[in-house]
Structure 1
């Protein structure tokens, strides 16, 4: 899966042919969560508090960029 960002111990992925609503996958050794791009809330899965805080801080200023990339990867014919 394409890694969009890497942190100490986990990564943020944007996947093609993914389902709505727009989200990122946050994947660590012991967790995998889907975090909504628009509201930066956990949609599904588990995640550590530290990882969630880092992702929210990182993504909060990049939501437009993340939405554009999600749309590009998930265009429907």
Structure 2
């Protein structure tokens, strides 16, 4: 699972050969994790408040095209 971006309290990853819809995971340093849909930036699985990962969501919105390309690349 390639780490796409590191933040002080969590890291953003995209798993290889993962399921649709295109999404990324935010893995907290304390072990919690959420899945976030790339199109719409909605949390689709997990229990982390959006305010806790605000920096990751902001970065992901600004880099949505890159994330979509990386997701597609890792599914092959």
Gaps of 5+ in 1: none
Q: What pairs up with 1:1-77 in 2 under 5 angstroms? A: 1-28=1-28, 29-48=30-49, 49-51=51-53, 53-75=54-76
Question: How high is the TM-score relative to the length of structure 2?
Answer: 0.90
Structure 2's unaligned 5+ residue stretches are none
In 1: Cα distance, 2:68 partner to 2:2 partner: 15
How many residue pairs match? The answer is 74
The separation in 1 between residues aligned to 2:56 and 2:43, in whole angstroms, is 11
Distance in 1, matches of 2:10 and 2:56, equals 10
Q: Which runs of 4+ in 1 moved over 6 A?
A: none
Q: Aligned partners of 1:59 and 1:14: how far apart in 2?
A: 12
Q: How big is the shift at 1:24?
A: 0.3
